[in-house]
Structure formats: C-alpha cells, structure tokens
C-alpha cells in the first residue's frame, strides 16, 4: 500500500453485482444526467443556473410532502407531530435562502451571454412552488392557466385550490380544542386566497396571554411565524439576487421581474399572527 493511503476496513462491501449500492438507491445516473444546457456554444455558467433551480425543485418536493402531512396531522388534532413538520420546512427555506448566494456569483455579463437561450422558461412557471403557495394560503385560480398544457399539473394544482390550507386546518384544530374561532371562518370558501380576519385576533390574543394554559397552540403559532419569516427571507434573497443579476429587466416569463418579486413580499400567509402582537399586553 502506498504511503498516505487509507486502507479499506475489513467488512466494507466492495462487490455490488447483486446488491443495492449508493448510486442505484439514489438513481444517480438519471439524476446526474438531467442537466442539459441549451446555449450554443454551451456557456460554462449555465450548469450552475440549471443545478440551482433543479435543487430548489427537489427541496420544494420535500416542502410540499411535509406541508401536506402537517395539514393532515392538524386535521387529526396532532399538533406535536405537525410542529415537527413545520420545523423541517422552516429549515429547508433557510437552506434555500442561503443557496441564493451561490447563484449570486453569476455576474450580469455572464448571465447575459446565455439568458436569451432560455426563451420563455421562468421560475414563474414552477408547478411545485405554486403548490406550496396554495397549501399555505396564497391561492390564485388564475394561475391554473399557466399549467393548462399539463393535465397532471393542472389537476394537482386545482385539487390544492379546492382543499383547505395548513392554516385552515390549524384553525379547525383550535376550534376542536375549544377556542372561539368564528363559524364563518371555519366554513369559508377555501378556493379563495386568505385575507386577514380581524375577528380572529382575540382568539390568538387569548392564547398568547395564557401560554401555560394553551402551550401546544401557543408553540404552533410561533412555529407558523417562524415558517413565514423563513419563507419571506427566501423571497427577499430571490429578489436581491435577481436585482443584482438582471437589474430591472423583464422576467423571461413575461413578468415585470424585480417589481413582481417585490410585490410578493407584501403577501402574508398568517396575518393575524402578526396583528396579535400589537394587542399583547394592552
């Protein structure tokens, strides 16, 4: 054995002719063959751009998986398990926010050299991102038009449009625990985007002013605020990365670009959980 070589430990498997191996389990041949730059000649930085967005979509897949489980757990009254899922999603969005720093190494000049090859492809068309927004409450039936060319995606998004959100499930869970959530909110049209309901603020005020008596509910409220903060920070990092890379150009998908992303920062999933902070201690 050459100097400096580390010997393979006795017992380590090396023959995988009839065993599952790492690459096979993760389907790495398919995964690593999914990056296909379209620029001609191929720009060296296009691989970064593709991998950035593909890894984001992989994380979105997990986010959606976790949020749908959280919604089910809340519908079953299991706040403890739901909190674990929310914590995981929160950390995913923190990871995604930091990921923008990698794409930010792409300079405006470098991106301009291959941006034209993207055609009308845009993150605006991300099916999974829209699913995440819908399950959290930012619903917009008009977005279904973007996915009419894909019956599977169209049907999946319509199903989420017509289903309760995570917040709806939490409010129903609160009502089942004896909190005075107004009936009209529990029976709302879930196909509509959530808008602030001031009559909910006293419900949350009562929870926040007696955390020992309502610890599970109180902790879940804070978890949801953590989730929104992490999501909004990811949105902000997206905005800043786009601004430093293309300035105020229109998006490839036809949006206004930075202006469109800035308006998204005004959207909130759980507005009453922020409004209640004004009431606490008054």
Each residue's pLDDT tens digit, 169-187: 999 999 999 999 999 999 9
Alpha carbon 125 to chain centroid, angstroms: 14
**Better-predicted residue by pLDDT, 109 or 1:** 109
Count CA atoms closer than 13 A to 37's CA, side-chain side.
Answer: 14
Is the pLDDT at 126 greater than 90? The verdict is: yes
Q: Does residue 254 register a pLDDT over 90?
A: no
Residue 132, pLDDT > 90, answer yes
Q: How many residues appear in the chain?
A: 282
Mean pLDDT of the chain: 95
pLDDT score for 78: 97
pLDDT of residue 11: 84
pLDDT digits (tens, 9 = 90+) for 194-223: 999 999 999 999 999 999 999 999 999 999
Q: How confident is the model at residue 149 (pLDDT cuts 50, 70, 90)?
A: very high
Within a domain: 29 = no
Per-residue pLDDT band at 101 (split at 50, 70, 90): very high
Given a contact cutoff of 8 angstroms between Cβ atoms, the answer to whether 151 and 120 are in contact is: no
Question: Does 191 show up as a binding residue in the annotation?
Answer: no
Torsion of CA 73, 77, 83, 86, to 10 degrees: 40
Alpha helices (H) in the chain, listed in sequence order: 22-26, 28-31, 46-75, 79-103, 108-112, 127-136, 151-161, 166-176, 183-186, 201-208, 215-246, 258-264, 272-279
Number of domains in the chain: 1
**Claim: this prediction has a pTM higher than 0.85:** yes
Q: What does residue 119 show for φ and ψ, rounded to 5 degrees?
A: 60, -130
Residue 132 lies in a domain: yes
Residue 205, in any domain of the structure: yes
pLDDT in tens, 28-65: 999 999 999 999 999 999 999 999 999 999 999 999 99
Instruction: Report whether 236 contacts 266 (CB < 8 A).
Output: no
Q: Is 28 domain-assigned?
A: no
Judge whether 73 lies within some domain. Answer: yes
52 among the known binding-site residues?
yes
User: Cα(111)–Cα(106) distance, rounded to whole angstroms?
Assistant: 6
> Does the annotation list 153 as a binding residue?
no
CATH of the domain at 233: 1.20.58.480
pLDDT of residue 175: 98
Is 51 annotated as a binding-site member?
Answer: yes
Residue 95 included in any domain: yes
Q: What is the mean pLDDT of residues 187-192?
A: 98
Rounded distance, CA 208 to CA 197, Å?
Answer: 17
13/119 Cα distance (integer angstroms): 47
Domain that holds residue 57: 45-110+123-241+257-279
Q: What percent of the chain has pLDDT over 70?
A: 99
* pLDDT score, position 2: 66
| 274, part of any domain | yes
Answer yes or no: is 280 a known binding residue. no
User: Annotated binding residue at 252?
Assistant: yes
Indicate if the pLDDT at residue 1 is higher than 70. no
In-domain check, residue 7:
no
Rounded-to-integer distance, Cα 279 and Cα 282, Å: 6
The answer to whether 129 is annotated as binding is no
pLDDT bucket at 266, cuts 50 / 70 / 90: confident
Structure tokens at 71: 């919604």
């Amino acid at each position: 054995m050459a100097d400096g070589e580390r010997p393979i430990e006795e017992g380590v498997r090396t023959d995988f002719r009839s065993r599952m191996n790492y690459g096979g389990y993760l389907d790495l041949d398919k995964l690593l063959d999914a990056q296909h730059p379209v620029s001609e000649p191929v720009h060296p930085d296009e691989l970064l751009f593709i991998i950035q967005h593909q890894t984001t979509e992989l994380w979105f897949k997990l986010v959606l998986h976790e949020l749908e489980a959280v919604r089910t757990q809340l519908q079953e009254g299991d706040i403890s398990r739901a909190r674990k899922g929310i914590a995981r999603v929160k950390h995913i969005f923190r990871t995604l926010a930091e990921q923008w720093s990698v794409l930010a190494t792409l300079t405006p000049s470098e991106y301009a050299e291959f941006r034209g090859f993207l055609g009308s492809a845009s993150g605006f068309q991300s099916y999974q991102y829209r699913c995440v927004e819908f399950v959290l409450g930012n619903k917009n039936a008009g977005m279904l038009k973007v996915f009419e060319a894909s019956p599977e995606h169209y049907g999946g998004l319509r199903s989420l449009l017509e289903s309760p959100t995570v917040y709806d499930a939490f409010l129903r869970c609160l009502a089942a625990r004896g909190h005075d959530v107004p009936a009209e909110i529990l029976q709302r049209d879930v196909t509509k985007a959530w808008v602030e309901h001031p009559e909910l603020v006293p419900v949350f005020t009562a929870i926040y002013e007696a955390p020992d008596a309502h610890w599970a509910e109180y902790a879940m409220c804070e978890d949801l605020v953590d989730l929104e903060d992490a999501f909004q920070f990811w949105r902000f990092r997206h905005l800043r990365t786009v601004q430093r890379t293309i300035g105020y150009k229109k998006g490839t998908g036809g949006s206004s670009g930075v202006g469109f992303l800035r308006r998204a920062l005004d959207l909130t999933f759980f507005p009453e959980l922020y409004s209640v902070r004004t009431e606490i201690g008054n």
